[in-house]
Amino acid sequence: MPETRKIAAILVADIVGYSRLAGADEDRILARLRALRSDLIDPTIAVHHGRIVKRTGDGSLIEFHSVVDAVRCAIEVQNAMVERNAGVPEDRRIVFRIGIHLGDVVEESDGDLMGDGVNIAARLEGIAQPGAICLSEDAFRQVRARLDLAVNDLGEVQLKNIEQPIRVYSLEVGVPAEVKSATPTKPAAPEKAPAGLSPPDRPSIAVLAFQNIGGDPEQEYFADGITEDVITDLSKIGGLLVIARNSSFAYKGRAVDIRVVARELGVRSVLEGSIRRAGGRVRITAQLIDAETGGHLWAERFDRELSDIFAVQDEVTQRIVDALKIKLSPSEAARLDAVETTNSRAHDFFLLGRELLWGTIRNREAFGRSIDLFEKAIAEDPSYGEPFAGLAMAQILNWQFHWTDDWSQSLEKAERHVNLALQKSPQVAFVHYVASVFYLWKKDLDRSAVESDTALDLNPNFAQAHNARGIVNIYAGQPLAAVPHIEQAIRLDPLYKHQFIHFLGTAYLVAGKFEAAAALFKERIQLNPETDLSRAFLAVALGQLGEAEEAARVWRELMGINPKYSFAEHVGRLPFRNKADVDRLTDGLSKAGISG
């Protein structure tokens, strides 16, 4: 039988300190392990419909069709081990670490499993505390409504040999149910917002991720997608400050106090809701809450055919506008009435592709799957421009990360998709934002500026577009003009400032304000300890400040993180218009005695 590719829940477990236990009394530990397998572990796996793929001494690789089954199996085993270890001297206890991930795997002809799905589960097991269960975000999303124990949100963690950071949750066995954020030792996303962000004078809102209550975890993307569409529609209104998806989704799966959310994000109102999709029907409930009083400004339930989903989104947006007493300009009203597609299948495929493209895992596999989903959306509705923009963005990312062998041709492919997206959806901010990113990397800074300005005209609350406009100013030789745009991106997406603060530091660095730049790069390193780019530019700033010894220390850290890093290659790819700006960067390294 040839190899097959599939999605599976993978559980990896091993014994903490097995070598020490075996060294003390190998015969006894092997006998105890055999007994545990026969009367606890194997029966529990069978009850929860698991398949033991292989065992490697003290470790096990187990496949489940359901994440729920995998987690229940892990909880049962860990609880049983707490009981069995009671009264056993600590140095003789058998304690398991467990990692669980839902992902793509390859099944070999002999039944063995390989691929990223297995590798991520194994890395999660490696960082789990003794007696704990670590879940990836993809796995946690499937089970969070069914958990009966406490969860620590560890934030984003850079797992060994896994390209992109992955958000990790640690389950605490035997503790009452709740979800809480721990102070992570690895870079966390989101980071904590400044305490007591002041709301603006104008109306402001955060839209929390709608809960998927239909019982089908595969519909999670649909609930997220509808929430994001509501955020996008509200963001088109210039008189309303709308918090970006990243920051509002940071509270997903957590029991939160609306007043705390509003204070952390600096808004006056919060929208929350739920979605139930079953067959050809969808039920959406939504409630708009005044963050100061906790009272309802508006609440409603919609029961519709799935084909009416776009009309429901429009109604939700209009009800919020009415409740907040916002007066729309004619152009804003027209943008809210615009419909990109009436094909629900095309919209479904686009939502799935967008979820993959902006997900925590960015690799060749995710790239290929997102391409396939965007192409399916286009096949359903060839006039739908956003999937073409999705294809373009995927190709831009491929050009940056070199996922495929023909990555060098990716900008050419992206250009075709950008042009089609602009032709088909000229009134969509996302399309112009992607065009702005494309023209930036083509080093056409004037066109990039036009596209980001157009995106912001269509969506004044588009944090990524504000950042893009700031980046264009940096590379065009107007770094201080970039500062207000990047600061506004941080205001709109306060829990994810690590995405933008590097560019804020770069603006001050290019402007010759080296102390301000150094402070910002240091803050970025605190927020994202694995960054190499911010360390490189910090070394430049320190060199310009005459702090050669500190610059050298930072550079050693950088090379420890990325031994292949090349400053010349890095800066050579950046689309600076003025050679003097590049020379200032190189000069900073030279003053620090560093050859990049």
Q: What is the mean pLDDT of residues 244-252?
A: 89
pLDDT of residue 576: 96
Q: Tell me the pLDDT tens digit for each residue of 78-107.
A: 888 887 877 777 778 888 999 999 888 888
Report pLDDT digits (tens) over 543-592.
Answer: 999 999 999 999 999 999 999 999 999 899 899 999 999 999 999 999 99
Residue predicted with more confidence, 297 or 512: 512
Q: How far is CA 406 from CA 182, 395, 399, 401, 413, in A?
A: 42, 11, 9, 12, 11
Nearest one of 357, 395, 350, 351 to 374, comparing CA atoms: 350
Fold of 4-181: Alpha-Beta Plaits (3.30.70)
Q: Which long-range contacts (CB under 8 A, 24 or more apart) does 574-583 make?
A: 574/475, 575/440, 575/441, 575/443, 575/445, 575/475, 576/475, 576/477, 577/445, 577/475, 577/476, 577/477, 578/477, 581/477, 581/510
Average pLDDT over residues 327-349: 83
Report pLDDT for 537.
96
- The pLDDT of residue 585 is 93
263 pLDDT above the threshold of 50: yes
**Which pLDDT belongs to residue 130?**
87
Find which of 196-205, 325-334, 468-477 is predicted with most confidence, using mean pLDDT. 468-477
Strands 166-172 and 178-181: unpaired
Give the model's pLDDT for residue 479. Answer: 95
pTM of the model as a whole = 0.66
Fold designation for 204-338 = Rossmann fold (3.40.50)
Q: Please state which of the ranges 44-48, 438-442, 469-473, 537-541 shows the lowest mean pLDDT.
A: 44-48
Distance CA 44, CA 41 (A): 5
The per-residue pLDDT for 240 is: 92
CATH code at 345-591: 1.25.40.10
Q: Averaged over 524-534, what is the pLDDT? A: 90
Q: In 346-360, which positions are buried (b, 16+ CB within 10 angstroms) versus exposed (e)?
A: bbbbbbbbbbbbeee
Check residue 178 and give its pLDDT. Answer: 44
**pLDDT for the residue numbered 177:** 41
Q: Is 12 helix (H, G, I), strand (E, B) or coil?
A: strand
Lowest mean pLDDT across 301-315, 366-380, 507-521: 301-315
Q: What integer is the mean pLDDT of 68-85? A: 85
Q: Is 562 helix (H, G, I), strand (E, B) or coil?
A: coil
Domain limits of the chain? 4-181, 204-338, 345-591
In residues, how long is the chain?
Answer: 596
Q: What is the mean pLDDT of residues 457-479?
A: 96
| pLDDT per residue as tens digits for the range 165-211 | 888 998 866 544 444 444 333 333 444 444 557 888 889 999 999 88
Mean pLDDT of 524-543: 93
Query: At which residue do the structure tokens 């029966």 appear?
Result: 43
Q: How confident is the model at residue 146 (pLDDT cuts 50, 70, 90)?
A: low
pLDDT of residue 149: 61
Q: In Å, how far are 23, 145, 268, 324 from 199, measured between CA atoms?
A: 61, 32, 6, 15
Percentage with pLDDT > 90 across the chain: 44
Q: Does position 233 have pLDDT exceeding 70, yes or no?
A: yes
Q: How confident is the model at residue 147 (pLDDT cuts 50, 70, 90)?
A: low
pLDDT at 506 over 80: yes
Q: Which residues pair with 212 in a beta bridge?
A: 275
Residue type, 356: L
3-state secondary structure of 136: strand
Q: Are 12 and 61 in contact (CB under 8 A)?
A: yes
Query: What is the pLDDT averaged over residues 335-348?
Result: 81
Q: Which amino acid is at 248?
A: S
> Is residue 283 classed as helix, strand or coil in its secondary structure?
strand
* Digit-coded pLDDT (tens) for 118-140: 999 999 998 888 888 999 988 88
